A and B are shown apart, each in its own frame.
Chain A
């Protein structure tokens, strides 16, 4: 593999496969740069970026979950019929008749839940390490990438929500009833949004096919586009934020043996003063390794671990299927999936009454508070005035106050989720987990 053979067969092999054991720096760099699957990775990577402890690899895990969801989702598309008459039966068939159907569906559902959790954890990690902040490189725009991440979080929630309706069971039907009625409470455009989302005023065939197309094509395509941009921006911003920190710390040290001029930058082409050029200050032998095999191997390990973990839990945790949708009977209690329970809790407790004047909790808890939280997330990087020494460091002292505020907000959401999950019984009344729920008459 050391010599480049411009012979058709060899070229194809080199563009899809790569060597695990490069015999030279050039071969290591080439096997990244000339490879279709890997060309978006850097040829060299700092040990800090590779470490388990800095990034916790949460983004890679999330991406792997999305991969699992895409693969199992396509299989499920072959088996599922998006029609009001047949949807429930086809899901029931997937669960009980199709070979391994229950397993594929469990993989899909468990990955979906985990993806919501890991997107959230990834966001928390980025926040606590100040990784949305620019560092030393020219042309960096990490705040923009943070906003892309926030949008990806919202799309992940929408993907879960649209997927929820498809089995057309009681859970699905009432979650969508509540969800789209919250949308209706948005000012001015609310009614309009609900109408076009449902294709009418009721949750019927039009709504099902719309949610199906959103779930299977529109939203995944949006994720793919934004994910690509998310990755491209990481490269443009000079890699993970911890690299900037490394460079800054290097600069403070006295350089005794002169500045190294050799650089293995992006494709060997660098225009302007990018981090890669700055990073020549880094003692390369000491702080960086070739991406092949180190980065690629570690990505492989994380992907394998994620796959195995999801497969194992899917053996034990199956996707639930309730009774067929019945628009006349609301299950009691009717609960949203856990990641929306904090919203359900909010809409239940935020109706405001001032004299005769009433604001529906659906607006306050369903639109206003989440809207403020998302807006706050989006603009936070622009409010954060800490120095670039806090870029890419866990729990920087300069950022203690904002880290605490952020964690309190997260904690608040988590507490509401726990209350909603374990302490709400029939008629959304409060029960401690050890209290028994009353038996309610079946009639009505």
Chain B
């Protein structure tokens, strides 16, 4: 091929222009991906284990239900696994016996989602509506400093992870 100065300069010019544009556009798009998150708290310190009421308590800031059964504590996320609405706790007037994973379990309460009607048993197992999987369980810890309970929403744990104090 003959070396053509005219053609070379033309292609070089257009190429440089395109490259500049692409570079610019990259900076614009990249800037929209935040490097630092100032989003709300994921870890909440609640109270001393003794002061937490028996039964269920809703922790506002992390949309989580914490349960106390005597000396045992566990927490279930209130975020529906379908599309992220906050599920509602529904106490049952009469406990009912259901089969969860082959075992018969007595449930005293359920979770219902207001957005699309998903329903979960007391342990978070989904049984009706569009939710594809059970509600997440989140970690309950005892703070080493003051012995208060800490619920960490960012730490998902397996179902039936319970803390006995």
The contact of A178 among B38, B83, B129, by CB within 8 Å, is B83
Docked complex Cα distance between A359 and B82 (Å): 10
Residues A351 and B130 in contact in the complex (CB < 8 Å), given A174-B85, A428-B117: yes
Say whether A196 faces chain B, with CB atoms less than 8 Å apart.
yes
Residues A444 and B114 in contact in the complex (CB < 8 Å), given A196-B33, A351-B132, A358-B133: no
Residues A199 and B32 in contact in the complex (CB < 8 Å), given A330-B114, A360-B82: yes
Docked complex Cα distance between A333 and B129 (Å): 14
User: Do A344 and B116 touch across chains, with their CB atoms under 8 A apart?
Assistant: yes
Say whether B115 faces chain A, with CB atoms less than 8 Å apart.
yes
A334-358 Cβ-contact flags toward B at 8 Å (1 or 0): 1000000000100111110000001
The contact of A334 among B39, B85, B119, by CB within 8 Å, is B85
Contacts of A248 in B (CB 8 A): none
Docked complex Cα distance between A35 and B160 (Å): 76
Chain B residues with a Cβ closer than 8 Å to the other chain, count: 31
User: Do A200 and B32 touch across chains, with their CB atoms under 8 A apart?
Assistant: no
Chain B, 87-140, CB within 8 A of any chain A CB: 87-89, 112-117, 119, 129-133
Residues A174 and B63 in contact in the complex (CB < 8 Å), given A204-B40, A348-B129, A444-B88: no
Contacts of B23 in A (CB 8 A): none
The contact of A351 among B33, B38, B131, by CB within 8 Å, is B131
Docked complex Cα distance between A350 and B129 (Å): 9
Contacts of B85 in A (CB 8 A): 174, 177-178, 330, 334
Interface centre among A204, A205, A330 (most CB of B within 10 A): A330
User: Do A348 and B130 touch across chains, with their CB atoms under 8 A apart?
Assistant: yes
Docked complex Cα distance between A398 and B10 (Å): 53
Say whether A429 faces chain B, with CB atoms less than 8 Å apart.
yes
Nearest chain A CB to B157 CB, angstrom units: 20
User: Do B132 and A444 touch across chains, with their CB atoms under 8 A apart?
Assistant: no
User: Do A444 and B89 touch across chains, with their CB atoms under 8 A apart?
Assistant: yes
Whose C-beta in chain B lies nearest to the C-beta of A199? B34
Chain B, 14-39, CB within 8 A of any chain A CB: 32-34, 37-39
Say whether B58 faces chain A, with CB atoms less than 8 Å apart.
yes
The 5 closest A-B pairs by CB, nearest first: A428-B117, A332-B114, A348-B116, A361-B130, A351-B130
Between-chain CB contacts (< 8 Å), 6 pairs: A174-B115, A178-B84, A329-B86, A351-B129, A428-B129, A444-B89
